Amino acid sequence: MAVIASFLFLFLWCSVPLDAHGFHTYIVQLHPHSIPASASATGLQNKLHWHLSFLDRATFLEGGGDASSRLLYSYHSALEGFAARLTEDEVAALRALPGVIAVRPDSRLELHTTYSYTFLGLNFAPGGAWSRSRFGQGTIIGVLDTGVWPESPSFRDDRMPPVPTRWRGVCQEGEHFNSSNCNRKLIGARFYAKGHRINYPEKSSSVSLLEYVSPRDAHGHGTHTSSTAAGAAVPGASVLGLGAGEARGMAPGAHIAAYKVCWFNGCYSSDILAGMDDAIRDGVDVLSLSLGGFPIPLFEDSIAIGSFRATERGVVVVCAAGNNGPVPSSVANEAPWITTVGASTLDRRFPAFVRLGNGRILYGESMFPGNHFSKNGGKELELIYEAGGQKGAEFCLKGSLSKARISGKMVVCDRGVNGRAEKGEAVKEAGGAAMVLANSEINQQEDSVDVHVLPATLIGYAQSTILKSYMNSTFRPVAKLVYGGTRIRRSRAPAVALFSSRGPSLTNPSVLKPDLIAPGVNIIAAWPSNVGPSGLQEDRRKSNFTVLSGTSMACPHASGIAALVRSAHPSWSPAAIRSAMMTTADVVDHLGKPIMDGKEPAGVFSVGAGHVNPARAVDPGLVYDVQPEDYIAHICSLGYNQAEIFTITHRNISCGKLLKGQKQFNLNYPSISVSFTQGRTSTTIQRKLTNVGLPDSIYTVQVTAPPGVTVTVTPKILAFGGINEIKSYTVVFESKKGVQEEGSVAGGQLMWVHSGRKKYKVRSPISVTWGA
Ligand SMILES: *[C@@H]1O[C@H](CO)[C@@H](O)[C@H](O)[C@H]1NC(C)=O
Ligand SMILES: *[C@@H]1O[C@H](CO)[C@@H](O)[C@H](O)[C@H]1NC(C)=O
Ligand SMILES: *[C@@H]1O[C@H](CO)[C@@H](O)[C@H](O)[C@H]1NC(C)=O
Ligand SMILES: *[C@@H]1O[C@H](CO)[C@@H](O)[C@H](O)[C@H]1NC(C)=O
């Protein structure tokens, strides 16, 4: 299987190669209004015929072939349309047919805990998030990922309530998977391989990787994310003895439905859409997608399009922000109806120091079990770097290392190019005794640990510079690894993970993204017992848990917490649930100081509204609600044309009419994003708050104005009578002239503070950008 580390190099949109017959896979979107009455009235089978009628008219079939042989999927819920294999001429013919609104090539996307629930303050206290939501009972989380390992103890259903009667999903049979693998915890499982198979036909595939043609997870990623969202309690969980504790998902009472849309080579849009299409019909409450690509316009983005439909039907869609940080504007999955999640660090450490021959001790981290350390890495060993003269030896690429030179030595490998666990495997294969993984400048002090197949530690960039100059300074450099166990101490955590993708959103800077951050570094969660905890095929050790890092791990934390809020408030809209999570998020770390991003306090474009706080999210006091129509008005205000809006919404909207009388339309978003462009120095926004806390509540505004901006809120006091009462306010932002340069950014906040005993604080981050 692809190595764990590759999740950090996620996110690539690639054009799909032609298959052997000169076909591409395309996703064809149809106009639902042109559905013949017979088809719309009588269900899916007739819709399928209707979809095939388009293929019949546009394809050039030889020898009386059958158009259905070209069809991969027929979609009805996530969008109206189908995926099919077509030539370019056929695409042109399809585009010319009435009723066809868009034809897009399929695209490939990539996959982007024993402890994190305690870190997030989840506990059994009465009035806490778990007690208020009954652990998320009655809620169903759909996870689109690499499938699931159903035997994992995290998916046991011991104290689970029965499957909700509204559930329409299935437990799809396949290779090593049958209906007995589902239970009251894992209530559904399906798989989607057609888009993937086009590119990797079974027989011609040169890749000899293990893969199950079923919902079974041959990779591990989906098992990990599903258990993070809603895994059952597993006492005595550990990774080869490390990080031991009781493993538990965020919503241990919620049900899980696995939709396997990702395979060893990534995830194809056509398969993802098919999974979303079923998940919406099956009746999931929350959809969790730890995958994505680079930012692209919403009307070309299958996840954005499918999740618009899902949101309309009340499903909360939560997505990973991507692992392309700290580059600005790298945030993906940024549609305003999606909850976009960045990653933060925990305060749990796995110290494994490098003690150099000159006595200097360098801090590093590792998850290699200590007792093995003392046998191999714990001895003083000769250090060696770039050992082999071969290209790539500094990265410890497979086959680049010289057995003669590294045998029995401690090999220094630069981070980057290949997977981290893979480097360990390469060193071990070539006879190395231990490994020091050295961060390069771009990784700085980022410290995602891995489970390695030999004694190893990861050191930061500063330490790696010291190590290398020591190696330069002496004829025979030596070092030993000193293992420090698992340590939890109050420290500057959470902090923003270096790799977490940053805003401002490239396609829509008028909405601040990411929305929030959640734990995503060194997360321990369930793992298939036949995939080694390093994620490498060669690794034969067995463990029901492993450690992974990425916004892929942050996303299911937020999905599980969304399920808790949904359980506590079953009637809330997806927007109200997101608002509750955002306005209650923490902006300080566990020491009460500002959340950090490297050496600086974190800005709004890295943390969004802050670090998710489940105990407060289930009882936010006030929420900013959004109706699906408001999202349409919003994309109108962005200047999308009618065809583009149709592609996203499946509705023929006249933006002129919709925005009539509301020239200054503002999406009622829980964060505020202001840009001063084209000489504008003043802007006014409006927001509406719904009282979901206590009747007869008075809230007073407190503003921290972004530097260089004057902020005026009217009114300054909001008095709510009853529950569900709605109050509006306006905010005027004025840029102080001459203060700011083009391209500069600033952050601030606006907070409504409850004057009663509850002391609700409803906080919105403010981002301001100048120019462009
Ligand atoms: C993993 O879980 C299975 C099923 O609960 C159990 O039988 C097995 O002992 C566990 N393995 C380890 C290494 O804990
Ligand atoms: C599912 O597979 C298991 C193991 O092969 C078998 O024991 C069981 O009877 C099967 N269940 C069904 C419903 O086919
Ligand atoms: C070590 O020496 C090599 C070769 O002389 C040089 O390229 C490198 O920059 C040195 N590294 C450090 C950290 O001093
Ligand atoms: C949308 O409506 C306009 C007029 O109301 C019509 O001319 C146009 O064809 C419609 N477009 C679609 C895609 O339905």
- Name 617's Cβ contacts closer than 8 Å, sequence gap at least 6: 129, 561, 564, 565, 580, 581, 584, 585
Dihedral (CA of 632, 635, 641, 644) sign: negative
Claim to verify: residue 383 and residue 476 sit in the same structural domain: yes
Claim to verify: residue 416 and residue 481 sit in the same structural domain: yes
Residues with CB under 6 A from ligand 1: 151, 153, 529, 542-544
Claim to verify: residue 175 and residue 321 sit in the same structural domain: yes
CB half-sphere exposure, 426, CA atoms < 13 A: 26
CATH of the domain at 384: 3.50.30.30
Residue 286 identity (one-letter amino acid): V
**Shortest-distance ligand to the CA of residue 528:** 1
Of 95-104, 158-167, 445-454, 578-587, minimum mean pLDDT range: 445-454
Q: Does 176 sit in the ligand 2 pocket, CB within 6 Å?
A: no
Q: Is the pLDDT of residue 536 over 90?
A: no
CATH of the domain at 294: 3.40.50.200
Q: Assess whether 221 carries a catalytic annotation.
A: yes
8 A C-beta contact, residue 645 and residue 710: no
Confidence band for 457, pLDDT divided at 50, 70 and 90: very high
8 A C-beta contact, residue 143 and residue 558: no
Mean pLDDT of the chain, nearest integer? 88
pLDDT tens per residue, range 160-194: 999 999 999 999 999 999 999 999 999 999 999 99
Q: Residue 431's pLDDT is what?
A: 92
8 A C-beta contact, residue 511 and residue 336: yes
Distance CA 578, CA 733 (A): 25
- Is residue 646 a part of any domain in this protein? no
Catalytic residue among 74, 107, 145, 590: 145
Ligand 2 atom closest to the Cα of residue 173 is 14
Residue 380 CA to ligand 1 center (angstroms) comes to 35
Distance CA 259, CA 502 (A): 28
DSSP code for 179: G
Q: Specify the residue with its C-alpha closest to ligand 2, atom 7.
A: 180
β-strand 697-704 against 672-676: which pairing, if any?
unpaired
Catalytic residue among 221, 452, 650, 754: 221
Q: Residue 20's pLDDT is what?
A: 56
Claim to verify: residue 443 and residue 390 sit in the same structural domain: yes
Tokens 């390069």, located at residue: 440
Confidence band for 639, pLDDT divided at 50, 70 and 90: confident
Claim to verify: residue 184 and residue 302 sit in the same structural domain: yes
Q: Residue 376's pLDDT is what?
A: 57
Confidence band for 22, pLDDT divided at 50, 70 and 90: confident
Ligand 4 atom closest to the Cα of residue 652 is 1
pLDDT tens per residue, range 361-385: 999 888 776 665 565 556 889 999 9
68 vs 61, 198, 614, CA distance in Å?
Answer: 11, 15, 48
* DSSP-assigned states of every residue in 506-526: SS-TTS-SS-EEEE-SSEEEE
Claim to verify: residue 343 and residue 355 sit in the same structural domain: no
- Is residue 220 a part of any domain in this protein? yes
CATH of the domain at 754: 2.60.40.2310
Confidence band for 17, pLDDT divided at 50, 70 and 90: very low
More confident residue, 679 or 305: 305
Ligand 3 atom closest to the Cα of residue 465 is 13
Q: Does 390 sit in the ligand 2 pocket, CB within 6 Å?
A: no
DSSP code for 591: T
Mean pLDDT, range 665-681, rounded to an integer: 90
Ligand 1 atom closest to the Cα of residue 529 is 1
Last residue of a domain, one of 465, 485, 505: 485
Q: Is the pLDDT of residue 34 over 90?
A: no
Residue 246 CA to ligand 1 center (angstroms) comes to 14
pLDDT tens per residue, range 257-314: 999 999 887 899 999 999 999 999 999 999 999 998 888 899 999 999 999 999 999 9
- Is residue 650 a part of any domain in this protein? no
Distance CA 104, CA 15 (A): 11
- CA-nearest of 300, 277, 85 to 197 is 85
Residue 556 CA to ligand 2 center (angstroms) comes to 30
8 A C-beta contact, residue 583 and residue 766: no
Mean pLDDT, range 129-134, rounded to an integer: 84
Distance CA 409, CA 364 (A): 18
β-strand partners of 410: 383, 434
Collapsing DSSP to helix, strand or coil, 405 comes out as helix
- Is residue 136 a part of any domain in this protein? yes
pLDDT tens per residue, range 205-233: 444 556 899 999 998 999 999 999 999 99
Last residue of a domain, one of 618, 644, 676: 618
pLDDT tens per residue, range 403-440: 889 999 999 999 988 888 889 999 999 999 999 999 98
Mean pLDDT, range 489-507, rounded to an integer: 87
Claim to verify: residue 609 and residue 684 sit in the same structural domain: no
Mean pLDDT, range 122-146, rounded to an integer: 87
The range of the structural domain enclosing residue 469 comes to 351-485
8 A C-beta contact, residue 80 and residue 3: no
Q: Residue 62's pLDDT is what?
A: 63
- Is residue 358 a part of any domain in this protein? yes
Distance CA 525, CA 223 (A): 8
Distance CA 79, CA 646 (A): 11
Distance CA 260, CA 238 (A): 26
Residue 178 CA to ligand 2 center (angstroms) comes to 6
**What's the number of domains the chain is made of?**
4
β-strand partners of 428: none
Q: Residue 312's pLDDT is what?
A: 96
- Is residue 651 a part of any domain in this protein? no
CATH of the domain at 47: 3.30.70
8 A C-beta contact, residue 80 and residue 30: yes
Pocket test for ligand 3, best of 386, 468, 475 (most atoms within 8 A of CB): 468
Claim to verify: residue 598 and residue 519 sit in the same structural domain: yes
Pocket test for ligand 2, best of 180, 186, 212 (most atoms within 8 A of CB): 180
Claim to verify: residue 598 and residue 729 sit in the same structural domain: no
- CA-nearest of 467, 458, 456 to 360 is 467
Q: Assess whether 69 carries a catalytic annotation.
A: no
Query: Which segments of 354-454 does DSSP mark as H helices, in order?
Result: 370-375, 403-406, 420-429
Residue 7 CA to ligand 4 center (angstroms) comes to 43
Last residue of a domain, one of 463, 485, 507: 485
8 A C-beta contact, residue 55 and residue 84: yes
Residue 170 CA to ligand 2 center (angstroms) comes to 16
Claim to verify: residue 375 and residue 305 sit in the same structural domain: no
Q: Does 473 sit in the ligand 2 pocket, CB within 6 Å?
A: no
pTM of the model: 0.90
- Is residue 678 a part of any domain in this protein? yes
More confident residue, 34 or 22: 22
β-strand partners of 435: 411, 456
β-strand 410-414 against 434-438: which pairing, if any?
parallel
Claim to verify: residue 325 and residue 409 sit in the same structural domain: no
> For residues 308-326, b (16+ Cβ closer than 10 Å) or e, as one string?
bbbbbeebbbbbbbbbbbb
Q: Assess whether 145 carries a catalytic annotation.
A: yes
Q: Is the pLDDT of residue 757 over 50?
A: yes
* DSSP-assigned states of every residue in 335-375: -TTSEEEEEE--SEE-BEEEEETTS-EE-EE--S-HHHHHH
- Is residue 659 a part of any domain in this protein? no
Claim to verify: residue 473 and residue 503 sit in the same structural domain: no
Sheet containing 81-86, strands listed edge to edge, beginning at the edge strand earlier in sequence: 71-75, 81-86, 24-30, 100-105
8 A C-beta contact, residue 408 and residue 433: yes
Residue 394 CA to ligand 3 center (angstroms) comes to 13
* DSSP-assigned states of every residue in 231-295: PPPEEEEEETTEEEEEE--SSTTSEEEEEE-EETTEEEHHHHHHHHHHHHHHT-SEEEE-EE-S-
Tokens 């549609």, located at residue: 335
